[in-house]
Amino acid sequence: MMGKNFSCNNVNKCRRAADLYETPYSITRQLLEVEEFPKFVLEPACGNGAIVKILEEKGHTVESYDKVQDFLLEERMFPSVVTNPPYSFAFEFIQKSKIVAQEKFALLLPIAYLHGKQRFDRIWTDYTYPLARVYVFTRYPMLGDPLREDGCYRTGMMVYAWYVWEHGYKGSPEIHWLDNNKYVIGARKK
């Protein structure tokens, strides 16, 4: 018996081309409310520019492109990277970010990315450029719907988190929560 398929992925042959699931504006805004990034940021999986728009709105200078191979072959260094990578290349994006991001980087990934033997061996126990913080959303944001200027979105079935790596970080990763209820369409507001 096959397991449940929560994310409209390629099991049903309906995964979006190039894993293009745009990031609602509020998801990036919430990251920038709790994390500071250097002024210059690379966004290597920019899609239609949702994350770029918010980074620039907050005063960052952003270099962006949207070709996986461009990033994987990148030779320049950047102070930081912020992106919602194509999940089929998440491992490669993490490894490459450790090379090109001089200070820190943040990737939006499913919370399930925390498990797995290869990830444990090659990502979570790498203390030269360690995971510093994980920001878990309290509600399941739906990625892939048309973006709304107010940053609101419907809920989906996949739990997402911002994963933040910081060069020179010491200690175990911290887990924090981002209460995104006010951005969920139809949610009861307190």
pLDDT tens, position by position, 9-33 = 444 445 445 566 899 999 999 999 9
pLDDT band at 186 (very low <50, low <70, confident <90, very high): confident
| Percentage of the chain lying above the pLDDT 70 cut | 88
Take residue 30 and report the two structure tokens written for it: 């919430």
Mean pLDDT of 152-167: 95
What's the pLDDT score for residue 16?
A: 47
What's the pLDDT score for residue 10?
A: 40
Mean pLDDT of 96-119: 96
Distance (Å, rounded) from C-alpha 126 to C-alpha 13?
35
CATH architecture of 19-183: 3-Layer(aba) Sandwich (3.40)
pTM (predicted TM-score): 0.89
Domains of the chain, residue spans: 19-183
pLDDT band at 74 (very low <50, low <70, confident <90, very high): very high
What's the pLDDT score for residue 144?
A: 85
Long-range pairs for 86-91 at CB < 8 Å and ≥24 separation? 86/18, 86/19, 86/20, 86/45, 87/19, 88/19, 89/19, 91/118, 91/119, 91/122, 91/123
Query: Which one is predicted more confidently, 144 or 46?
Result: 46
* Choice among 27-31, 62-66, 154-158 with the minimum mean pLDDT: 154-158
Distance (Å, rounded) from C-alpha 187 to C-alpha 190?
9
Query: Whole-number mean pLDDT of the chain?
Result: 90
